[in-house]
Structure 1
Amino acid sequence: MTALTDEAAPRTGATPRGGRWIDHWEPDDDRFWAATGRRVAARNLVFSIFTEHLGFCVWLLWSIAVLNLADNGVRLSVGQTLWLTTLPNLVGAAMRIPYTFAPARFGGRNWTVVSALLLFVPCGLFVYAIENPGIPYWALLLIAATTGLGGGNFASSMANITHFYPTGRQGLPLGLNAAGGNLGTSVTQLAMPPLITAFGLVAVGWVWMPLILLAAVSAYFFMNNLTKATSAYTLREMGAGARDGQTVVMSVLYIGTFGSFIGYSFSFGVLIKNTFPDITGSHFIWLGAFAGSLARPFGGWLADRFGGARVTMVNFFLMGLGVAAVAVSVRAGSWPMFLAAFLFVFVTTGVGNGSTYRMIPAIFRARELAEVDQSDGAATERALTRARRTAAAAIGIISAVGAAGGVLIQQTFRISIEETKGIAPALLILAAFYGVCVLLTWFFYLRKVRVGQTRMSLAEAGV
């Protein structure tokens, strides 16, 4: 057994598997958590964030590249430009399903190494595309699609880190993990313009490669696999989760939060260029993703403190107001108002990302505990185990649907621009959608229903 396995060694006789595997892991045991669990979890969180961050950086390559393709000899219509940023989003959403299973199948540390190395593929192909500007548009689409591998990293990272932390304290670490990844969006959009000016567009592909190698090596030496997590859930359980009403509802809500964040992040530069053509969009597009990323752990913290459902409902109301303010700014032709309102919307997407993600395990935990006698410790432990497995399977589906929702956001803007030459109709549709999300959150999680002899809401049960 290695030293890293020893530091989380069992109090009773579990058999170590060797290598970077930990066979005994009980984060809900306060003594275990204080003695070794917190330290091991924090180390794995740090390197998980690093790899996921690079995944987002690569995923968003084309959101900045499309603003500079004309200077590289590639001229595209607005519709073609939006498709180059939409396809990576769509592929990234699809990749979240297999990536969710990967840590359970191969080990969280092992898969982090593999998923980091896979990022060389889109970076290498990006370099090829920029050095060969005459390649056909369909080839550009295929090359852009490979950046979706970076979008899959989010699902595997979140699924892995969930197992390291106690059930009641997952909001903040999951928020930090997600925020660290989400910040890759703004880092790409902030760092690339000066890099392009200095070294040309091709540098956007080369710059990430040494960092990708560093992430893979770091994960190999400093992360762990959890034996307990390898039996987390099965494909059959994920299929059952897809039919679960709670999974369906939370998928819609996650479209509203994460779908909005990633959809706006991919589209923000194009929206600025279309609405305010005299403004250099590349100077500002990073601000949105940056604001949303920083707000995500705050949303998780608020959810831990006040309940995910309460925070989520209020947040959707604020999202609707924010989008309405963007529409007013478009009508008034005010760039400062447009930027301020859109940044407010980005902040609310981040808060909502944190609060909705905190809701998912809490929903299944509350449902399972409601069906057992909690004075029976063994029955309670079995219920908590079922809740973890069900929530882990549901998270894979919900995160995939939420990312796919970003495609819907982008296409709403594309159709609005092509049909009306502006984005105001799309903004009104989005404001109405956020209103629907307010109602869904209240109806399913804040409305009181009869549970046994009492009336209570899921929010009162800890959701």
Structure 2
Amino acid sequence: MSTRRLEEPSMTALTDESAARPEAVPRGGRWIDHWDPEDGEFWDRTGRRVAARNLIFSICTEHLGFCVWLLWSIAVLHLADNGTALSVGQTLWLTTVPNLVGALLRIPYTFGPARFGGRNWTVVSGLLLLIPCGLFVFAIANPGLPFWVLLLIAATTGLGGGNFASSMANIAHFYPASKQGLPLGLNAAGGNVGVSVTQLTMPPLIAAFGLIAVGWVWMPLILAAAAGAYFFMNNLTRASRSYTMAEMGRIAARPHTIVMAVLYIATFGSFIGYSFSFGVLIGNQFPEVDASHYIWIGALVGSAARPVGGWLADRFGGTAVTFWNFLGMGLGIVAVWGGVSTGAWALFLGAFLWVFASTGVGNGSTYKMIPAIFRTRAEARAAAAGRAARERAIELARREAAAAIGLISAVGALGGALIQQTFRISVERTGGIAPALIVLAAFYGLCLGLTWAVYMRRVRLGDRRMSLAEAGV
């Protein structure tokens, strides 16, 4: 095994003085055997640089995953011009199936970094994005394909949705618990903004080069991102033990996993559900407005707000930020309802952008909460144990939190489909979206109460009574 530590921008030999201190030690395949971000000296000397480099290339791959995931949401609007006539129901299926597949794939993708290594899985999951792009080109070049074939091809874009879970689970291992909010927020925002990039760039690309170009344009970028991950990312030995299905089942059944999944439905589920639906809602309520000029703004605002939520959570605690953010989301939905009821386009747009921003802040703060919750509970249980037992408990909590992130992200993405269906039912039965807005406002109120009851109310932690918010969650 090599006795050299990982440095930037190159590998340098350990000095006698530094050899006495643990370092990030690489071996074949860019594996790092020692990684201790909770050690402040280690973090300042080596960890911060290595973590930042892995974060950058993780963002690149995850961003392209979201771009590919949203391919058909825009392409369906131009299929008729390409010689493929579909009913409204068929069009909705072509946009819903990728959402559902992407959500379901987040569960097995969570196993990827632990089973194969974060760097290795990032390369593989990035290259897999070539499949939906290639099949998209094939579908557009053959406009007479049966609908079931189109549906299968559209389903493969769900591979892009799965990338999020593996990327977030992997990056969580690189950062100390107290500093995870901002990097996880940046990582997620880099992916989320792919929604806006797709919605903004595809229409002019289609106008200039035809629908088939939409499949080709991502391929060289995917290859470049995979190459970057291959050459510049790392695998962590500490995170390499794969989860068994039994372990995942126990983690999924934990009360805090369930509660955080509900909260994440309200944040990320809202973000992705609104992103898919925003253009339709504009067309339904304000038919005189050209939705194509505004459809991409919401996703961009929500993506940009996500690292802000992570930063605020690092500064004030994820629980406090999440609590007040749900209040803001509820008030925003009430303002959207005001714009709908009065026909005020400016109020509707401004209020909806406020809601989009709130979903981003909530996404960042809830992801800060997940690892902090698992760590805090582990420390409380091991408070009376020795140092070795405490360290083992914290390491187990870190692994469980990474698994929970994947599970919670899957449920949150499925929540986006539920929000889409809430709007669909509202429009079909009443002709408008006001009933859906009432349901959503009530849901955000429920999440506000749930956050207070579980994480702000004082409970017994170890031998003390405190709230998880007081414990730093």
**2:180·2:368 contact (CA, 8 Å) conserved in 1?**
yes
**1:268·1:285 contact (CA, 8 Å) conserved in 2?**
yes
SS in 1 for 2:465: strand
**Alignment-derived partner of residue 173 in structure 1:** 183
Say if 2:398 is the partner of 1:399.
Answer: no
Residues 229-277 of structure 1: CA deviation (Å, up to 9, x unaligned)? 1026443221101111111111000000001111111121222222223
Residues 23-80 of structure 1: CA deviation (Å, up to 9, x unaligned)? 1111111111111111111111110000000000001112222233333344444443
Q: How does 1:362-381 map to 2 (within 5 A)?
A: 362-373=372-383, 376-381=386-391
Deviates more, 1:82-91 or 1:204-213: 82-91
Match of 2:74 among 40, 46, 64: 64
Which letter does structure 2 place at the counterpart of 1:187? Answer: V
Say if 2:136 is the partner of 1:114.
Answer: no
Which letter does structure 2 place at the counterpart of 1:286? Answer: W
CA distance 1:431–1:78, change in 2 (3 Å): farther
RMSD: 2.1
Say if 2:421 is the partner of 1:411.
Answer: yes
**1:259·1:404 contact (CA, 8 Å) conserved in 2?**
yes
**Alignment-derived partner of residue 206 in structure 1:** 216
Deviates more, 1:288-297 or 1:418-427: 418-427
Q: How does 1:213-232 map to 2 (within 5 A)?
A: 213-231=223-241
**CA displacement at 1:379 relative to structure 2:** 2.9
Say if 2:446 is the partner of 1:433.
Answer: no
SS in 1 for 2:211: coil
Residues 436-461 of structure 1: CA deviation (Å, up to 9, x unaligned)? 11111111011122446643211111
**CA displacement at 1:221 relative to structure 2:** 0.9
**2:5·2:23 contact (CA, 8 Å) conserved in 1?**
no
**2:185·2:308 contact (CA, 8 Å) conserved in 1?**
yes
**Alignment-derived partner of residue 195 in structure 1:** 205
Match of 2:298 among 288, 293, 296: 288
**2:83·2:143 contact (CA, 8 Å) conserved in 1?**
yes
Size of the aligned set, in residue pairs, is 463
**2:271·2:356 contact (CA, 8 Å) conserved in 1?**
yes
**1:79·1:414 contact (CA, 8 Å) conserved in 2?**
no
Give the distance between the partners of 1:213 and 1:282, measured in 2 at CA: 30
Residues 380-419 of structure 1: CA deviation (Å, up to 9, x unaligned)? 2122112112211211211111111111111111222222
**2:173·2:402 contact (CA, 8 Å) conserved in 1?**
no
**CA displacement at 1:191 relative to structure 2:** 1.0
Say if 2:272 is the partner of 1:262.
Answer: yes
Which letter does structure 2 place at the counterpart of 1:193? Answer: P
CA distance 1:452–1:45, change in 2 (3 Å): closer
CA distance 1:196–1:268, change in 2 (3 Å): same
**1:300·1:355 contact (CA, 8 Å) conserved in 2?**
yes
Deviates more, 1:69-78 or 1:309-318: 69-78
Residues 260-314 of structure 1: CA deviation (Å, up to 9, x unaligned)? 1111111212222222233222221110110000000000111111111111111
Match of 2:368 among 358, 364, 373: 358
Q: How does 1:94-105 map to 2 (within 5 A)?
A: 94-105=104-115
Which letter does structure 1 place at the counterpart of 2:459? Answer: V
**2:57·2:229 contact (CA, 8 Å) conserved in 1?**
yes
SS in 2 for 1:373: coil
SS in 2 for 1:67: helix
**2:58·2:167 contact (CA, 8 Å) conserved in 1?**
yes
Give the distance between the partners of 1:421 and 1:70, measured in 2 at CA: 26
Give the distance between the partners of 2:223 and 2:46, measured in 1 at CA: 29
**Alignment-derived partner of residue 185 in structure 1:** 195
Say if 2:86 is the partner of 1:85.
Answer: no
**CA displacement at 1:16 relative to structure 2:** 5.7
Give the distance between the partners of 2:365 and 2:91, measured in 1 at CA: 32
**1:315·1:348 contact (CA, 8 Å) conserved in 2?**
yes
**Alignment-derived partner of residue 399 in structure 2:** 389
Say if 2:309 is the partner of 1:299.
Answer: yes
**1:112·1:157 contact (CA, 8 Å) conserved in 2?**
yes
**1:67·1:282 contact (CA, 8 Å) conserved in 2?**
no
SS in 2 for 1:354: helix
**CA displacement at 1:327 relative to structure 2:** 1.9
Match of 2:49 among 21, 24, 39: 39
Give the distance between the partners of 1:233 and 1:393, measured in 2 at CA: 8
Give the distance between the partners of 1:14 and 1:332, measured in 2 at CA: 60
**CA displacement at 1:423 relative to structure 2:** 1.9
Give the distance between the partners of 2:463 and 2:391, measured in 1 at CA: 24
Give the alignment's TM-score, normalised by structure 1: 0.95
Give the distance between the partners of 1:368 and 1:127, measured in 2 at CA: 50
Give the distance between the partners of 1:343 and 1:13, measured in 2 at CA: 45
Say if 2:467 is the partner of 1:462.
Answer: no
CA distance 1:328–1:84, change in 2 (3 Å): farther
**1:41·1:165 contact (CA, 8 Å) conserved in 2?**
yes
The answer for unaligned runs of 5 or more in structure 1 is none
**2:25·2:32 contact (CA, 8 Å) conserved in 1?**
no
**2:24·2:32 contact (CA, 8 Å) conserved in 1?**
no
**Alignment-derived partner of residue 53 in structure 1:** 63
SS in 2 for 1:24: coil
Which letter does structure 2 place at the counterpart of 1:377? Answer: R
Give the alignment's TM-score, normalised by structure 2: 0.93
Q: How does 1:10-25 map to 2 (within 5 A)?
A: 11=21, 17-25=27-35
